[in-house]
Chain A
Amino acid sequence: MKVVVVQQDLVTAWGRGMDACWAGLLSGGPAFTEVTRFSTKAFQAHLAAQIPGLPEGGDASRVMRMLTPLLAPLAGTLPEGTLILLATTTGEVELLERELLSGAPSGDQSRLDVLLGRIQSTLGVTEPGRIISAACASSSVAIAHGAALIASGKRDSVLVVACDAVTEFIYAGFASLMALDPEGARPFDKARKGLTAGEAAGTVWLMSEERARRENRPSLGEVAGWGMSCDANHMTGPSRDGGGLVRAIEKALQRAGLNAADIGSVSAHGTGTPYNDSMELKAFQTVFTSQVDRDLRARSDAARRSASTSGCLDDCEGVSCAQPVPVYSVKGSLGHTMGAAGLVEMMVALKSMEQQVVPPSANLHEVDPEAVGWVSQHEVKVDGMNAVLSTNSGFGGVNAALVLKS
């Protein structure tokens, strides 16, 4: 059973909605601003991708202030049986900050199940929802789970809600790992030094194609394949060879019934840390080499001879025959939105297919030699882009890949 996206919305540092986000991405610049909500004096960086214009004050957490305008239009409209999946890493941890700073116990208000309850209450949904947390791949894993539920016929309507905010809690943590780039994240740049914390919230409503058609709902794209893996290697660093990500991608392609050659572009996790970006490039080189090689070898002898004249087929043992596809990262623009990253990037990938344009990797000045031919600081027009790949990785070696079709 096909899984389609029937509704989506988001808020990022570029403001509310995909149009604002897309325009910001195409500008090629970062949406980074100085952090003023807490002191960053002790840290190596002072920038973050922060959502402007959120109402200040009151008891509500920043996450709920991000989410409420997205959830309000959906309130009372979700059909019975719609499962709510909440994807986040730290949720309303800001409430814990307040509690520990003030010394006034708040009754564990920062628990994720409390946040899920608030979301369900705002939506007017009473059926129990589910929390999914898989580090910075949380929302892509949630989308994968929602898609699996629909594809297996267990559900026909799933709303994925993703959110994470820039807080002192996470900022200090990333600073302790020396993971923040003082100049702002520069994914795939030769001089990249780390990430920039970002915040975002979004909703993606998944439905079986059958139900969507029956209810005359628009199809904004198809979640055609998904794959998940764990490096089983290190708590905070990725596997150097990208093997874990390769497994996730190959699973996603297999489930979608596609080959690597069918993929028009890749939305990479691209945090801007030296190790992550290098790992991803190795993974992409593996996937887009080995698969192309297999595809070529499966062709007729005539086609093989033809390919051989281009100097590729006979040399496809190493990475030299990788067939670069446009790879981009939004994190030089939107920052690392942690648990929301996968959902935001999936929406951008769908927009990219709709526009037949691959957005630039923002804040990219000098392309890392490993990324030459793959990554660009300019937007790229790609005709016939009907399937794209979106990947995320995170602490603990978790990897997730989504294959999306128009």
Chain B
Amino acid sequence: MSTVSILGRGWITGTGWGRVIQGQQGTYGEGAGIPPWKDSELFPVPVKNMGRFDAVARMTLCACALAMRDAGWALGDGVKRDVGLIGTNEEGCLAANKAYFQDYLSGGRVLARANLFVYTLPSSPLAEAAIHFGFQGPMLYSAQPGGGLTGLLEMATMMIEGGDASGMVAVQADAREAVAVVLGNGWEDGCLGEASLPEGKNGNCELY
């Protein structure tokens, strides 16, 4: 039985967003962009170069921000945190790989674009989030075929229990939708008590 707790959950899709513990959600029109980007409550400090991020990195940032806000964490305060970030999705960075290499081929195989190359790692979207939120714990991409977010929550729980970080954010993100979960112990605010991870189902966020 773990004492690690779920402190916050956030999700975002092409049509809406939610903060699960606070019971808040919103919708917006298809094609209208993702409002949380412009939400000063969610991003009190603008994310540097967010316009250059690839789609997965943007969704990762938004889901992390929603989950952290759900947990009652301060955002954009410039504070470095002993928090780790672990992410997953089904296809890794395949879309970024295609975009980068197709662009390179289109240019005659002479010069690749560095700002596309940097997203050809599955961990790159996580790195963007870690930089913005000041996460100084472990940062890695991990995927288990069919494992989804549940396997990731088990890893995150193990890392907290093993002393790798005081808290972890686990995020499943692709270009269309993302969900993030804040895990930790030792925080008073926003703590919901034991989450029974990894045995229980609390970590399996069936949000949409």
Contacts and interface: CB of A to CB of B under 8 A. Distances in A.
A39 B145 contact: no
B112 A176 contact: yes
A365 interface: no
A389 interface: no
A131 B159 CA distance: 17
Contact of A113 (B98, B105, B124, B143): B143
A130 B144 contact: yes
Contact of A229 (B105, B131, B134, B136): B136
Contacts of B135: 230, 232
B143 A131 contact: yes
Contact of A42 (B110, B127, B145, B158): B110
Interface residues of A, number: 56
B16 interface: no
Contacts of A395: 118, 121, 123-124, 127
Interface in A195-243: 227-236
A230 B109 contact: no
A110 B114 contact: no
A173 B112 contact: yes
Contact of A100 (B98, B133, B138): B98
Nearest to A134: B140
A90 interface: yes
A96 B98 contact: yes
A172 interface: yes
B63 interface: no
B27 interface: no
B137 A230 contact: yes
B204 to A, nearest CB: 16
B140 A133 contact: yes
B134 to A, nearest CB: 5
Interface residues of B, number: 55
B164 A228 contact: yes
Interface string A373-406: 0000000000000000000000111100000000
B131 A235 contact: yes
Given A235-B118, A395-B121, A397-B131, A117 B111 contact: no
Nearest to A99: B98
A176 B113 CA distance: 6
A312 interface: no
B21 interface: no
Contacts of B130: 230, 232, 396-397
Interface stretch (B5-13, B66-74, B89-97, B176-184): B89-97
B150 interface: no
B38 interface: no
A97 interface: yes
Contact of B127 (A89, A168, A169, A397): A397
Interface string A88-110: 01100100110011000000101
Interface of A: 39, 42, 89-90, 93, 96-97, 100-101, 108, 110-113, 116-117, 128-135, 141, 145, 148-149, 151-152, 154, 168-169, 172-173, 175-177, 227-236, 244, 247, 251, 255, 395-398
Give the 7 A-B residue pairs with the shortest CB-CB distance, closest first: A396-B127, A173-B117, A228-B138, A172-B112, A230-B139, A134-B140, A176-B112
